[in-house]
Amino acid sequence: MQLSDISTTINGGNLSYWHWDFDDGDTAAMQNTWHTYVTCDTFNVKLVVTSNDGCKDSTTKAVIVNCLPIPNFNTTPVCKNQAMVFTDSSTGTISTWKWDFGDNSAINTSSNPSYTYANSGIYNVSLTVTTSDGCSDSITKPVQIYYNPVAGFSHTDVCLGDTMYFNNTSTVDNSSSIASYLWVFGDNSATGSLQNPNHYYSAQGTYSVTLVSTTIDGCSNASNIQVNAFDAPGSAFSFSNTCLLDSALFTNTTSSPTIGNTANWSWDFGDGSIMNTSAWNLNHLYSAPGNYQVTLITYSSNLACSDTLQDSITVFPMPVANFVFNNICLNQVMNFNDSSSILSGNIASWLWDFGDASALVITQNPGHTYTNPGTYIVTLIATSNNNCKDTITKSVVVHPLPDAEFSALNVCDGSSALFNDLSTILATDTLQSWFWDFGDGSAISNNQNNSHLYSAVGSYTIELLVISNFGCLDSISKVRVVNPNPVVNFTASDTLGCEPLCINYQNLSFISVGNNVTWLWNLGDGSPTNNSQDLFHCYTNDSVYSIISYTPALTVTSDSGCVSTLSKNNYINVYPQPDANFTVQPQTTTIIDPVVSISDLTIGGNYWYWNFGDGDTSSAFNPGTHTYQDTSTYTITLITSTQYNCIDTAYQTIIIEPDFIFFIPNTFSPNDDGINDFFSGK
């Protein structure tokens, strides 16, 4: 603490001695001093001062020494990704806290903060506390963030009935170690604690296996993997006893495994023929009647888990199934005519499958209507009176209908409407014919795409009929509009005159239906185009001899996009303006020589009028000279005009001065003495 003396003397003397009593047992004998208190309290500091004449005075003041706070905090080690709670245990009247967590993060000012470190390790945490008196102190302590393990394991899926083995791949930082493992196998069985266990699943399914690895520091991490105990397909098939020389139909009814699907299979027909591993449902021709053991082995898509089924078939003589039909267009009835035969006995029943998931039909000669185009596999099973069956399948075609469509835009009167065919048909067929009715009584067109010019404004109904290569057809109709064109007209306030010719243009355009929305003026003189409805414009003629004619044009666009243009050829005629000019020599002379020479420099003039400013005039092209009769300042005016009565004027000023010559002798003395008082020019 710094103590400064501010004592003064009354009578102008000097202070010579100082004595400080700091109230804590220490004193000092200097004018200004520093003192350190070792305790916090209120001290009565006394200062005694003595002047050089031995006079003394003293003063006592209370000095308050505030106590420093005692910083402290508590915490417990945590695992990575857990929040560490810092509990302040500082003493003193603390008003502010500043926490530095030791990882370059922002300073925290909470009293009891919590903080989650991004990485494991030891961090030096500093706490600075400040009292309400402004006294502060700090403390630094190390805190521990333990490493988490990385739980992991591998396995191999099994077929149901086999044991599954697990390979533990858990790891942890070298500063720690894994103390325990907890396995949850996902089938409500007891948990396991071995490092690399095995497990038997009693039912097929997908199980969620969890491994929790825990370190010696109590930090845990879990890994979860889906494992599979695959079941095999349920081999099954159905068949009917068949007849000699006919194929037996085996329908595979194997049920798919719960997990995955049936991937492969093999048929053994029990007659020494090669096993079939490709067909799911199949026909097999036995060479002799009898009982045969048929074996079906099916394999799943997962680990080739398998199941086997055997059954016996009896082979009888069989009929020969057959039928005839004609392909059709969609929405037509397809008629099927049975033509099955048998060498002996008779055909007792028929079973039709039309290949479109519709109900089976037992009529001998059925008709069937398909709801979608396409190729269908039609199956007929003919059954003899001995219940021998023969099956025949044939592909029938239901040809698609065309989807008639076209594009056409509304057009302006006088413009051809473009009709683009957009009709489609499924790729199995093609479009072959088009018939266009343009709705105006004109001839039918057979082109695929058309351009048609309507003779009048109005709305027209266009119909397109399309026919496929098989003769299937569809049609569509649309209404399109032929819009009127604007009727363009305009007038000008003047159409001829001298340069510059300034005129007002007035738009007189109209349209029968709709509105005109834009106007574009081309004034014919190279000036920028103008979008005003009405406008004012000035024309020039840089020639002094010839008329220049301009052809203005107005283009009008309607709200339907129809455009019309009117151009008035040589509508504006601008006469040339003459350029009056002349020279006069000299421009200043005397009355002794009052003749001036005039040279006409006019360009483009046909008529001249000269006013010499002295009352004389002339209509000569070039008057040559003019003689003035008196002194003065004169203005010569030239007015020139063309045959179009276009006029220009030029002016020149000349001065005719008097001619005075004075001789003043030295004997002239105008002093009123009567001698040589007057001068005479005679």
Distance, CA of 560 to CA of 247 (rounded, Å): 73
DSSP 254: P
CB 221 within 8 A of CB 148: yes
Distance, CA of 205 to CA of 61 (rounded, Å): 91
Confidence (pLDDT) at 38? 85
CA dist 659 to 317, 590, 592, 635, 663, Å? Answer: 161, 6, 6, 21, 14
State the CB neighbour count (10 A cutoff) for residue 472: 23
Confidence (pLDDT) at 318? 77
Residue 678 has φ and ψ, to the nearest 5°, of -125, 145
Query: Comparing C-alpha atoms, which of 312, 389, 385 is closest to residue 345?
Result: 385
CA dist 467 to 61, 426, 438, 569, 573, Å? Answer: 120, 13, 18, 53, 63
Distance, CA of 522 to CA of 499 (rounded, Å): 19
Phi/psi region, residue 40 (left: phi>0; alpha: psi -120 to 50; beta: rest), is: beta
Confidence (pLDDT) at 670? 56
Which residue ranges in the chain fall short of pLDDT 70?
1, 10-12, 660-682
- 496 forms beta bridges with 573
- 191-231 pLDDT, tens digit per residue, is 999 999 999 999 999 999 999 999 999 999 999 999 999 99
- Tell me whether strands 205-215 and 290-300 are parallel, antiparallel or unpaired: unpaired
Query: Comparing C-alpha atoms, which of 118, 219, 124, 122 is closest to residue 176?
Result: 219
Mean model confidence pLDDT for the chain: 91
CA dist 534 to 256, 468, 489, 529, Å? Answer: 85, 58, 12, 13
Distance, CA of 233 to CA of 216 (rounded, Å): 47
DSSP 386: T
Distance, CA of 260 to CA of 266 (rounded, Å): 18
Burial (Cβ within 10 Å: 0-12, 13-18, ≥19) of residue 566: middle
Query: Comparing C-alpha atoms, which of 309, 193, 292 is closest to residue 255?
Result: 309
